[in-house]
Amino acid sequence: MLRIASVSLVLLTALMPLAVPAGAQPAPKIQPATDGIFEAFRTHAIVGLGDHHDLAQEEDFFATLVRDPRFARQVGNVVVEFGSAQSQPILDRYLNGEDIPYTELRKVWEDRVGWVPSGARLGYANFFAAVRTANMALPPAQRIRVWLGDPPIDWNAVRTKADWLPILRQRDMHTHALIRREILSKGRKALVIYGGTHFFPSDQGELEDVGPLLNKSDPGALFTVLPYSGFTTAACSLAFEKDARLPLLSLATPVRGTSLEKALTRPGCRTSPDSISPKHEGQWSGTDADAFLYIGPAAGLLRSPLMPDIYLDAAHRAEMSRRYEIVMGKPLASSTYDRNPSTALPFRP
């Protein structure tokens, strides 16, 4: 009993905010990540979870959330960036237990508007499998619904970049309309898994991202969460992790005005690549979000493996290369087996 009590005390202490010295910034509230997400749903209809594309531990966290029994009971809907609307009937059948041939099922994560070539990561396919597994234990009326957020696209009809660009420009407007029509207008809630920058103002001129659109049409509906993915240098990552001392798989809120914001904005350190404008650094570091998801130290973060179809299936690769040439103006040379080893690659230096 003494040993169990001691362990419980250690865990409780790790999740409690630290005492704040006079004149110092207050510490954020820290709690287990799943509990923090469900707490956010008590006051917000939409929780936007920033997808730091290809980050394996975060893709595992997506599956962890939908496997939690609270998700089906309290939320019930997910809107994802990694799929386009024309594949919705395929996904619906799969998530409700129907056996779908793999060459048809993979259209869900392959035939998309925004990512060319698709080269889908294993974590996204695993997420759909996790929802299907959760649904098989639930009556039909209580099953989780996953909505594919991108507008429909027929790649057979896309022959030039001029065919593709008008569809690309509809992406966030289509997602916004979907959320309003299928979620908010019906008094429902949804987890929205999109690249983190989609939740904040961008430099797209007259085109707005889904977050700003929601904030205009439905003020207060959206709560944003951004994940930790490390800094561009190992020294900055280590310094942050030492200062923040966050437990594994924890959620910290708020970020702004706290000691966490100070730790994330250390002088000379960046989380975003040099190609990203410094004014958007907060969309990468997490300081622009309502909550910060800590999924582990940067040195242990891994890049999710590619689905191997793109280099094992010659006909499939030829089609992906055709799409890539339409968008990028050159044939596909990446997404090969030598860049997708069995041992997962580090996400950060």
pLDDT, tens digit (0-9, with 9 covering 90-100), for 88-127: 999 999 999 999 999 999 999 999 998 877 668 999 999 9
Band of the pLDDT at 13, cuts 50, 70, 90?
Answer: very low
User: Does 7 fall in a domain?
Assistant: no
Radius of gyration for the chain, computed over Cα atoms and rounded to the nearest angstrom: 21
User: Does 33 fall in a domain?
Assistant: yes
Band of the pLDDT at 9, cuts 50, 70, 90?
Answer: very low
CATH number at residue 293: 3.40.50
Are 246 and 209 in contact by the 8 Å Cβ rule? The answer is no
- Expressed as residue numbers, the domain containing 165 is 27-339
Residue pLDDT, tens place only, 210-222? 999 999 999 999 9
Rounded mean pLDDT of 196-204?
88
What percentage of the chain exceeds 90 in pLDDT?
85
**6 pLDDT higher than 90:** no
Q: How many CA atoms lie within 13 A of 272 on its CB side?
A: 17
What's residue 118's pLDDT? 62
What's residue 40's pLDDT? 98
Band of the pLDDT at 4, cuts 50, 70, 90?
Answer: very low
**15 pLDDT higher than 70:** no
User: Does 20 fall in a domain?
Assistant: no
Indicate the pTM of the whole model: 0.91
Residue pLDDT, tens place only, 117-138? 766 899 999 999 999 999 999 9
Rounded mean pLDDT of 164-180?
97
What's residue 278's pLDDT? 85
What's residue 203's pLDDT? 75
Rounded mean pLDDT of 311-326?
95
**24 pLDDT higher than 80:** no
**205 pLDDT higher than 80:** no
User: Does 21 fall in a domain?
Assistant: no
Q: Indicate the average pLDDT of the chain.
A: 91
Structure tokens at 187: 């008094």
60: which residues sit within 8 A by CB, 6+ positions away? Answer: 123, 126
What's residue 3's pLDDT? 38
User: Does 39 fall in a domain?
Assistant: yes
Nearest-5° angle of CA 305, CA 76, CA 59?
15
Q: Percentage helix, strand, coil, to 5, in the chain?
A: 45, 15, 40
**206 pLDDT higher than 80:** no
User: Does 71 fall in a domain?
Assistant: yes
User: Does 309 fall in a domain?
Assistant: yes
Q: How many domains, in total, are found in the chain? A: 1
3-class SS at 21? coil
**20 pLDDT higher than 50:** no
3-class SS at 34? helix
Band of the pLDDT at 25, cuts 50, 70, 90?
Answer: confident
User: Does 1 fall in a domain?
Assistant: no
Structure tokens at 287: 């300081």
